Amino acid sequence: MSFPAIMVLLVAVTGLIWLVDRLFWAKQRTTDGKEPAVVEYARSFFPIILLVLVIRSFVAEPFRIPSASMLPTLHIGDFILVNKFAYGLRLPVLNSKILETGEPERGDVIVFRYPKQPEIDYIKRVVALPGDRVGYFDKTLYINGEVVEQQPLNADAEVSSQLTPNSEVFYEHIEGHKHMIATDDGRPSAEGEMIVPDGHYFVMGDNRDNSNDSRVWGPVPESHLVGKAFMIWMSWDIDAGGIVWSRLGKGIN
């Protein structure tokens, strides 16, 4: 059972116990009758669980970065916050949209349900929107026939030590988004071109030669969107000695 399903179940159970007590059991107790422990726990935990469910479902949800696919932007061990209302409010568990609030833009870093296994969450960068012609050849991204600009790093730019030794890092510019990407001349790239279908988004990892993304399994349906990643609230790297303080509170571009 997924975490949202567990939260919904707990809200329903504690809320029902509290309601039944207020309507029936409380009236049958004497004035000095002690409240049953199960009712006390339900009354105490119901508002807390409900608040957590509302925040995680409609405001922000934490996620942990488990892989190297978004290096150098996101490191293994980063803990991020995802804006849950950026692309529409959705009901927990059902994932059905109840309110339109916005749509992904090129360059957004998004969390979504992996199309082949929807119970698994993935994080990638949106590089192409519905109707775009997107291509990737010779480690270069093309959108609607135009080369997406790459430029060398600044001399003082910090590059993650988690990248492989053969990695080359560049700045990439997509619709005003400036972010770092990595390529590896020693590894082949998944290449090809397609027109992004309506209601879908083409996503790629910033670690271009170490990412399982839309080049392999196709674009992400709009119904699978979870939210927009916007901040790193914690970062843990055991090889660096634990908490990486310099990454705490860092925005995600």
**Contact 168/184 with Cβ under 8 angstroms?**
yes
Catalytic, out of 57, 84, 124, 139: 124
Catalytic, out of 69, 160, 211, 235: 69
Strands ordered across the beta sheet of 133-137: 146-147, 140-143, 133-137, 192-195
Cis peptide upstream of residue 152 (ω within 30 degrees of 0)? no
**Contact 183/148 with Cβ under 8 angstroms?**
no
Q: What is the rounded distance in angstroms from the CA atom of residue 87 to the CA atom of residue 103?
A: 5
Using CB atoms within 10 A of its CB, is residue 131 exposed (0-12), middle (13-18) or buried (19+)? exposed
Q: How many helices (H) and strands (E) does the chain have?
A: 4, 18
Q: Which amino acid is at 227?
A: G
* 69 a catalytic residue: yes
* 124 a catalytic residue: yes
* 52's tokens: 């957590």
Q: What is the rounded distance in angstroms from the CA atom of residue 78 to the CA atom of residue 80?
A: 6
Q: Which amino acid is at 76?
A: I
Scan for tokens 């950026």, then name that residue.
86
Q: Which residues are catalytic?
A: 69, 124
